[in-house]
Structure 1
């Protein structure tokens, strides 16, 4: 019995032993299985995302200009030009090993000794004070994992690290690590950091890094913000010197080298890349995704070479002159008048340059792409080009120019001058509103809307009314779209899609991708050329004279919309024009209008800026002339009893004293025998708001009393016996300095403001404000053209400021209601007051 009990007990012990052994075996097998599963999982992750390792070997996506030269590198936070291990200084590798992972060349990805030491230190400190990640683990984390702090993330990190050690050599792992490690201020990798902190631009410059600079780089990974020499110089130097000491203790450098390195000052000035091309680069990123289907993050991951249309001569000229405050109206109380400009290749539609604003920032508000009311610059697209394309109208056609109402809509001419009829070319030259609206009414709103759509401009449904003739759009359009639409006038009626990218090359595959540019035949070649001639005349002797260039022909149209706060001010000022090489589109205005931010200048400012930019951009190119397309002939239709052209009067203004009172003496010459009388016009800032101070006088002189501190600008308008107006004279003005000198001397002084000089240019659109060398607030039209030549006396209109109304835009009509139609959109452009409610049809046919 006892023996049986012993036997039974022995069986139970054996059973427990077997269970324990089994459990131990199970645990061992589980651990082994888990280990291999861990290795497998890590290997799978590396295998599935091995492209991430390849990606870090790619240089940042490179942006090339139109000539194939590198313009910039595309990156958000990383400029990762891959550096192979043979180009990395041995001392730099040793420094990183010394501070980050001193047993790097001995472990298999995980340093168990370091882990044990870290755990012991953490226990003693009562918190985590010591990191234990090896360089291989850091690479695994940086390439494959997120930065979340969880047990499973750490497990994955170990797994991937072991797998990386099995797949790659120590040199390969170190190479990848040094190209991926984040070193502060957006610099990823040692090459980018060496460039950022020390101005070492190329990989071969790494050999010139000093011991102190090497230690500085090795000091940063532990805390990029904390140990940045720019953010915390004291802490940065302390850590740098600690690493220099470690390098000496490990025999990497001598004691003498240590002492010399610790005396070396920290970097104090970083090398930064300018943002002259930022608006263009932002546009390239957007276009790559829209036209090529390459997402932004793909571009930033590197590996592409993007060939663009940007011309650095053009872009640099734009940036330089946007930085010059003299090219802009007076600043407001707290904000500047802002602007946006885009320049296209006149033949291809390629974007040669973009400026998004005077202080554009990455991905910020871009005035070259945002919507604004275009004013009279829209007239060629909505009215004149469609009319010419019908074949029923031509430059010599007579258009109604009498005061009239279109179902309650009563546009006015900026100069308040009317006649029974006027030629189309004269209406364009003088930017008159009544004949423009009348012509739109004749061709039909629906037909106009179709043309506008084909020109590439999207309108709001509420824009189906006659106000589109004058650019009174509910939401407006952008400088880019306006420039694109004007390509029709330089390409025989074909609109060329505006684009920034010619082709993209994938450096991984060598494959190049080219997407065709959309081309749309909108108007006939004949209509395009005739419209071009009208626009050329508008610059030569009409509202756009300030856009003239030296030796280069220019065609274009000004545009303004009136401020809602003052009839003498403008909300928007435009110029859209071109020469044989480029099309330029400029908008100016305050981002938000209020009492402290009112712009009294008009489109003569934008026209002048166009001229200045283009003159500089083309300074190294041989001037060209416009070429009439094959098969297109000049047309010289002249209506009966209608004068082909008139020579405008040549006006000069002198200051003198009559008695004790200063006066302005106006004198003019006029060779036109059909002139029977003259209106004398006077204004301060806005030629479109000029007042008539003498009507239909027969003489050629006039005396105007000058009030102290108030200096006017003048122009005269000739009339024939039937009351038809001729081309206004140039702008004449007197300066404050002249008045002061006159009063001080107390004697008669005749300070001549010669019309041929700086006063000419009459801007119809802007009306006569041509201005003085651009120095006057009035647009500087007249005056000298930007080339230094004095503008020829305009045949079209007095030079001038784009008046305040839609001025040329018809604004005369102009006032601007704060809203358009009902339910006004607070972000929509303001609509001139005389523009009807968009919800009320203005089509007389209805």
Structure 2
């Protein structure tokens, strides 16, 4: 007997030693559970708190703290997975005994007896293979974990870690993904379906196998009823209920050009952007984004429709093919292949970007034309030349000469003399005309003569003061906007006019919140460029350009709109740059390969409809928007030839512009 006891003692000691050795090889692995830092999804929200997109790497997971998990979720999970969870110390001896008996009968490991604690360890640390050694390791770590973490902490980690199918990790992610609900909004059947998923997440995925998912949910409900945790009414109602299940993309990206831009901005400074669980609040308004996209699509289709019309008209005339100026045959589908557009809207007084659409179809091209594309602004650049003149003492009534001139210059790579003879778009000249009318009707020759009178050096220096870059040509071609600029940069420059002389930098991020709740807020960046009175004079001229000038197509009822068209040489680029009293919008159209559009595609005709559509429809959902431009107190007005004209102490009206005696001039 003594020898038998000794034998068993040796065996027991050997087993104990083996267990201690086994535990020593894995004991530090438990730190992964204790110091739980899972991959978390970063979410982007619009200014109104609407989800724009998720971004993640490998695991799409939204974290939820235990105190925000409804008790019903805990009850349902414990009922189906580990009824004695709050009583055991990490392992369940009764369940182990039952599993051993079944395994012996089957001759293999067919049933486990894992508690929720063990399942958490298996998910985070160990493999899922059914081996005795792995099960022993699992039990040892479970026993240890329960001495470190509370039951609530274990459940929190479990419900955030496990996979719920369809790419969803964590129960909060699954609730929002499958049902578009927060956890507190779920009913009992939806909860039951979710907690039943981890057993076989792909098989029970309700987007693939709804009937199996419902059956699994019913098992959970029956178990809760058996335990007496729900009443008869709850049981019967839940068994019959069939929830609406959504099959959504994981990113749910509603504004891909926006998210690409924000990601590019942040990725340099935030290395764990896709795994850090940040909450990024943007300035974008999803309603404005949707309307902007619709407006751009509308204008795009109008251009294609006009192209189709002219192709059919040519065929009726017997013209089967079209050729460019070099005699090369043009592809009849060239516009469908290369035509594109872009739109950016900002709050004029802050620079907050409300909408940013970088192209017609993101699925065909993710190139962001608002940010990355640099195109010639054409006549859309003229307001800054005229603003320079106003700041130098010119007034809207100052007389400019709209006559033709011929300029001689030397070719860039030779001593050959060349001639430049610019023309107005209409090909006609007006002679003397007021500055206001020259800009309202976008007269090229009047603008060139104005720059000649002021001096190219003075104009160039002032344009740099406004913030235009050094890539502008230092010659008279600058008057025709013959340099490259992106829509977002042009938007910043136009804010000088729309924001009463104060330039604001467009920005798109309101705040960033990390997983610990620390917040970084972003503020507007502004710089005073000119006096508000001078800016108003330009604003009023551009208001006229929309009412009766080149921008008439951009008019919107019941709201003041000011703006300027831009059409570059050979109709390569078409712009409309304008604003209401509070919102500014830049629209561009052109071919990605820089080939000309049809001569019909001017800034007004091509880009104007998108602009007008945006304001018309945004006004419907925001009728509270300010409708009229304010006249600063430093701006005065007088009647000239029966029309009211504004002036300031800097931009005084010329005496020869007044065709009535001074005593009869009316001031307002």
Q: 2:354 aligns with which of 352, 373, 388?
A: 352
Instruction: Say whether residues 1:602 and 2:602 are aligned partners.
Output: yes
> Which residue in the other structure is 1:402 paired with?
404
Per the alignment, in what secondary structure is the counterpart of residue 229 of structure 1? coil
Change beyond 3 A, Cα 1:328–1:31: same
Change beyond 3 A, Cα 1:434–1:589: same
Per the alignment, in what secondary structure is the counterpart of residue 221 of structure 1? helix
> Which residue in the other structure is 1:482 paired with?
490
Q: 2:543 aligns with which of 536, 557, 563?
A: 536
Instruction: Say whether residues 1:35 and 2:30 are aligned partners.
Output: no
CA distance in 1, matches of 2:179, 2:399: 69
Is the 8 Å Cα contact of residues 276 and 319 (structure 1) preserved in structure 2? Answer: no
Change beyond 3 A, Cα 1:261–1:203: closer
CA distance in 1, matches of 2:122, 2:565: 58
Is the 8 Å Cα contact of residues 393 and 652 (structure 2) preserved in structure 1? Answer: no
Q: What is the CA-CA distance between 1:575 and the residue it aligns to? A: 0.7
Q: What is the CA-CA distance between 1:496 and the residue it aligns to? A: 1.0
CA distance in 2, matches of 1:131, 1:591: 61
Q: 2:208 aligns with which of 231, 237, 255?
A: 231
Taking the TM superposition and a 5 Å limit, the aligned residue runs for 1:462-473 are 466-473=476-483
Per the alignment, in what secondary structure is the counterpart of residue 345 of structure 2? strand
> Which residue in the other structure is 2:55 paired with?
76
CA distance in 1, matches of 2:126, 2:344: 41
> Which residue in the other structure is 1:297 paired with?
273
Instruction: Say whether residues 1:553 and 2:532 are aligned partners.
Output: no
- Where does the alignment leave 5 or more consecutive residues of structure 1 unmatched? 1-20, 645-846
CA distance in 1, matches of 2:421, 2:139: 79
> Which residue in the other structure is 2:444 paired with?
433
CA distance in 1, matches of 2:455, 2:103: 86
Is the 8 Å Cα contact of residues 372 and 572 (structure 1) preserved in structure 2? Answer: no
- Where does the alignment leave 5 or more consecutive residues of structure 2 unmatched? 1-8, 309-332, 410-417, 636-647, 660-668
CA distance in 2, matches of 1:115, 1:454: 83
Is the 8 Å Cα contact of residues 402 and 429 (structure 2) preserved in structure 1? Answer: no
Per the alignment, in what secondary structure is the counterpart of residue 615 of structure 2? helix
CA distance in 2, matches of 1:238, 1:343: 50
Per the alignment, in what secondary structure is the counterpart of residue 585 of structure 2? strand
Q: What is the CA-CA distance between 1:325 and the residue it aligns to? A: 6.9
Change beyond 3 A, Cα 1:162–1:622: same
Change beyond 3 A, Cα 1:93–1:494: closer
> Which residue in the other structure is 1:193 paired with?
174
Q: Which moved more, 1:266-275 or 1:584-593?
A: 266-275
Is the 8 Å Cα contact of residues 379 and 481 (structure 2) preserved in structure 1? Answer: yes
Comparing both structures, which one devotes a greater share of its residues to helix?
Answer: 2
Change beyond 3 A, Cα 1:261–1:504: closer
CA distance in 2, matches of 1:305, 1:31: 48
Is the 8 Å Cα contact of residues 195 and 271 (structure 1) preserved in structure 2? Answer: no
Q: 1:340 aligns with which of 339, 342, 362?
A: 342
Q: What is the CA-CA distance between 1:398 and the residue it aligns to? A: 2.7
Q: What is the CA-CA distance between 1:374 and the residue it aligns to? A: 4.2
Taking the TM superposition and a 5 Å limit, the aligned residue runs for 1:587-736 are 587-591=588-592, 600-605=600-605, 606-618=607-619, 619-621=623-625, 623-628=627-632, 630=634, 632-633=648-649, 635=651, 637-638=653-654
Map Cα deviations across residues 409-457 of structure 1 (whole Å, 9 max, x no partner): 4433211123666554333222233343454566666665655555455
CA distance in 2, matches of 1:98, 1:246: 6
CA RMSD of superposed structures (Å): 5.4
Instruction: Say whether residues 1:217 and 2:197 are aligned partners.
Output: no
Which structure has the greater CA radius of gyration?
1
CA distance in 2, matches of 1:157, 1:478: 59
Map Cα deviations across residues 491-516 of structure 1 (whole Å, 9 max, x no partner): 4432111123445566845x654444
Is the 8 Å Cα contact of residues 496 and 517 (structure 1) preserved in structure 2? Answer: yes
Q: What is the CA-CA distance between 1:276 and the residue it aligns to? A: 5.5
Change beyond 3 A, Cα 1:93–1:329: same
Q: What is the CA-CA distance between 1:602 and the residue it aligns to? A: 3.0
CA distance in 2, matches of 1:325, 1:356: 14
CA distance in 2, matches of 1:276, 1:621: 25
Per the alignment, in what secondary structure is the counterpart of residue 557 of structure 2? coil
Instruction: Say whether residues 1:413 and 2:424 are aligned partners.
Output: yes
Per the alignment, in what secondary structure is the counterpart of residue 531 of structure 1? helix
Taking the TM superposition and a 5 Å limit, the aligned residue runs for 1:78-93 are 78=60, 80=62, 82=64, 84=66, 87-88=69-70, 90=72, 92-93=73-74
CA distance in 1, matches of 2:456, 2:103: 82
> Which residue in the other structure is 1:172 paired with?
153
Change beyond 3 A, Cα 1:44–1:192: closer
Q: Which moved more, 1:279-288 or 1:463-472?
A: 279-288
> Which residue in the other structure is 2:304 paired with?
330
CA distance in 2, matches of 1:157, 1:446: 79
Is the 8 Å Cα contact of residues 571 and 599 (structure 1) preserved in structure 2? Answer: no
CA distance in 2, matches of 1:469, 1:228: 63
Taking the TM superposition and a 5 Å limit, the aligned residue runs for 1:1-40 are 32=20, 35-36=23-24, 38-39=26-27
> Which residue in the other structure is 2:185 paired with?
205
Q: What is the CA-CA distance between 1:577 and the residue it aligns to? A: 1.0
Instruction: Say whether residues 1:521 and 2:528 are aligned partners.
Output: yes
> Which residue in the other structure is 2:164 paired with?
183
Q: What is the CA-CA distance between 1:557 and the residue it aligns to? A: 0.7
Change beyond 3 A, Cα 1:286–1:132: farther
Is the 8 Å Cα contact of residues 43 and 55 (structure 2) preserved in structure 1? Answer: no
| Matched pairs, number | 592
Q: What is the CA-CA distance between 1:380 and the residue it aligns to? A: 3.1
Is the 8 Å Cα contact of residues 400 and 449 (structure 2) preserved in structure 1? Answer: no
Change beyond 3 A, Cα 1:260–1:613: closer
